[in-house]
């Protein structure tokens, strides 16, 4: 009908052709298997919000696993299945993934307090979701391609920019939805509906979170920290006194907001300069969040959230070991480039950025950024082989000479390969005659 055509045109305008083609193929496959297929949830929400989203979630009215298996076979993809939940993931050879779920009555369990009503299975599938804005579905079968299904006034809420739960038991069913609400509120610039807001207040008051496993809190927290700008959501968690769910004595000081904003600025600065460099941006924000926690509290947080040892070490020992470096960078008036290099070498990008977030000293910030943009990339061309050719007997002296060459280069004393050779020769001669060192370091601010 006319409405479907409007939606199809809209999809043509908004979606990459490859995605649109895939959606058509999914619909055709569903019709061949005599079942209905819908693309649902965040993908459709983002289509109407003009935001790109390539996470395709398909709901099949019927057996989703059988559908996924057939579709994968026909298109040369593999699948992973979850028989218990009737779900599957289709994985294409290029790594692209599609989630498939089955809308079937046997998969739904509702709290006894909710009235049992007659519902089609797609409606039931939408009804168990978190917020109205996530309950849109677009049918994909050829005859009905583009039929928009909106049982719960989702379009109106998207237009009004408001976040609402579908029923009063939503946060009882799943308290992590409180975190999701605040994350979506900030990401989309929506407001939380009045009733939904009072349900959140109630969830906090009744502490629904105490039965929530630390692992799930961590997963939600990570999703928040991976947002483009995590700071506003974190501040909303603080508003609702929800940071205590991470740890009862998470230490929040007056610089909290400034720190979070600085973390955004510092990571943005880095990402602009080093587009191709991968590091864990969210980890910088996590460390900022626990900035004032000591080793004991950090360890408790890591245990509670079941954080993997690698990260627990980064957030605990490694993070706290930067204090010493920071205080030197902040206090020592005269430091050569080589001094700065020697202080910071070995620290990963996450830790370098964390240090930049923590310091309020302009001098220290300048030193760290100089290290990260220039010094860490300085290399020398002279090697052990060259020293061998100079008839120097191999031994610990090699690393001493090479280190001295590197330091001189960091300090701007050496420019060419020739300079490096001359410098090394001079060093060797001096060591051989045991002359005292002549300082060649250029002092910097
Ligand atoms: N969902 C839910 N309750 C949760 C988590 C998810 O009801 N605690 C539902 C949501 O309605 C959502 C769907 O499951 O549409 C998929 O969730 P998710 O993968 O988190 O996708 P998005 O809503 O798209 O979130 P994001 O944009 O952050 O990926």
ipTM for the predicted complex: 0.97
Residue 72 C-alpha to ligand 1 middle, in angstroms?
A: 24
Provide the CB-side half-sphere exposure for 137 (13 A, CA): 26
Both 429 and 290 in a single domain? no
pLDDT at 249: 73
pTM for the model: 0.91
Angle ∠(176,182,188) on CA atoms, nearest 5: 130
- Both 112 and 12 in one domain: the answer is yes
Residue 115 phi/psi, 5-degree rounding, is: -65, 140
Residue 219, in any domain of the structure: yes
Ligand 1 centroid to 329 CA: how many Å? 44
Same domain membership, residue 183 and residue 124: no
Domain boundary (207, 241, 275) is at 241
- Those residues with Cβ within 8 angstroms of residue 429's Cβ, 6 or more apart along the chain or in another chain: 435
CA of 238 to the centre of ligand 1 (A): 23
One domain, residues 357 and 277: yes
Nearest-CA residue for ligand 1 atom 19 is 42
97-102 and 87-91 as β-strands: parallel, antiparallel, unpaired?
antiparallel
Q: Establish if 441 belongs to a structural domain.
A: no
- Cα radius of gyration (the chain): 29
**Residue 393 DSSP code:** P
Sign of CA dihedral 86, 87, 91, 92: positive
**Do 265 and 280 fall into the same domain?**
yes
Same domain, 188 and 280: no
Q: Which candidate, 378, 387, 314, places its Cα nearest to that of 342?
A: 378
**Same domain as 136, residue 2:** yes
Output the domain CATH number for residue 58: 3.30.460.10
| CATH number, position 303 | 1.10.3090.10
How many angstroms does the Cα of residue 157 sit away from the middle of ligand 1?
Answer: 17
The residue segments making up the domain with residue 94 are 1-159
Domain final residue pick, 225, 241, 257: 241
pLDDT tens, 358-412? 999 999 999 999 999 999 999 999 999 998 888 888 888 899 999 999 999 999 9
CA distances, 141 to each of 41, 66, 129, 273, 298 (Å): 17, 17, 23, 46, 52
The model's pLDDT over 238-286, given as tens digits with 9 standing for 90+, comes to: 999 999 898 887 878 889 999 999 999 999 999 999 999 999 999 999 9
Judgement on whether residues 22 and 144 belong to the same structural domain of the protein = yes
CA distance 70 to 31: 12
* C-alpha of 301 from chain center: 19
Kindly give the residue spans of alpha helices, DSSP state H, lying in 108-147: 121-127
Domain assignment present for residue 5? The answer is yes
Q: Considering the domain boundaries, does residue 345 fall inside one?
A: yes
- Residue ranges lining ligand 1, Cβ < 6 Å: 41-42, 55, 129-130, 134, 174, 176-177, 180
235, 264 Cβ separation under 8 angstroms: no
The predicted-structure confidence for 198-238, as pLDDT tens digits, reads as follows 999 999 999 999 889 999 999 999 999 999 999 999 999 99
Q: Which residue has the tokens 């009905």?
A: 144
Q: Residue 9 falls within a domain, yes or no?
A: yes
Which of these, 162, 167, 184, 178, lies nearest to 241 by C-alpha position?
178
> With contact defined as beta carbons under 8 Å apart, do 88 and 64 qualify?
yes
In the chain, the number of structural domains is: 4
Structure tokens at 146: 């583009």
Question: Nearest CA to 308 among 325, 286, 278?
Answer: 286
Domain containing 181 — which CATH number?
Answer: 1.10.110.30
């Amino acid at each position: 009908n006319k409405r479907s055509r409007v939606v199809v045109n809209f999809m043509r305008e908004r979606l990459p052709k490859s995605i649109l083609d895939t959606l058509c193929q999914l619909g055709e496959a569903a019709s061949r298997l005599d079942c209905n297929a819908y693309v649902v949830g965040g993908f459709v929400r983002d289509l109407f919000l003009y935001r790109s989203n390539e996470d395709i979630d398909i709901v099949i009215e019927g057996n989703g696993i059988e559908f996924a298996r057939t579709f994968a076979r026909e298109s040369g993809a593999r699948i992973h299945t979850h028989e218990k939940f009737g779900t599957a993931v289709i994985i294409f050879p290029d790594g692209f993934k599609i989630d498939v779920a089955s809308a079937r009555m046997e998969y739904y369990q509702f709290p006894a307090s909710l009235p049992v009503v007659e519902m089609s299975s797609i409606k039931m599938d939408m009804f168990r979701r978190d917020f109205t804005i996530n309950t849109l579905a677009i049918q994909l079968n050829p005859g009905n391609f583009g039929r928009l299904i909106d049982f719960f006034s989702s379009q109106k809420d998207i237009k009004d920019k408001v976040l609402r739960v579908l029923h009063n038991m939503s946060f009882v069913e799943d308290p992590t939805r409180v975190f999701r609400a605040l994350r979506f509120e900030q990401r989309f610039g929506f407001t939380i509906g009045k009733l939904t807001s009072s349900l959140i207040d109630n969830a906090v008051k009744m502490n629904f979170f105490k039965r929530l496993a630390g692992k799930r809190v961590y997963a939600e927290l990570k999703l928040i920290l991976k947002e483009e700008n995590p700071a506003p959501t974190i501040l909303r968690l603080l508003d609702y006194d929800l940071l205590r769910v991470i740890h009862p004595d998470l230490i929040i000081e007056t610089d909290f907001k400034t720190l979070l904003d600085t973390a955004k600025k510092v990571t943005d600065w880095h990402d602009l300069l080093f587009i191709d460099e991968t590091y864990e941006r969210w980890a910088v924000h996590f460390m900022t969040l626990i900035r004032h926690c000591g080793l004991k509290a950090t360890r408790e947080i890591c245990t509670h959230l079941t954080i993997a040892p690698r990260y627990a070490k980064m957030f605990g020992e490694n993070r706290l070991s930067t204090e010493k470096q920071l205080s030197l960078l902040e206090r020592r008036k005269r430091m050569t480039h080589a001094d700065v290099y020697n202080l910071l070498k070995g620290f990963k990008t996450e830790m370098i950025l964390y240090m930049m977030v923590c310091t309020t000293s302009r001098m220290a910030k300048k030193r760290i950024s100089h290290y990260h943009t220039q010094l860490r990339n300085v290399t020398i061309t002279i090697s052990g082989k060259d020293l061998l050719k100079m008839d120097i007997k191999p031994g610990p002296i090699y690393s001493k000479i090479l280190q001295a060459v590197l330091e001189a280069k960091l300090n701007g004393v050496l420019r060419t390969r020739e300079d490096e050779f001359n410098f090394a020769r001079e060093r060797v001669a001096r060591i051989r005659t045991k002359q005292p060192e002549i300082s060649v370091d250029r002092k910097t601010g």
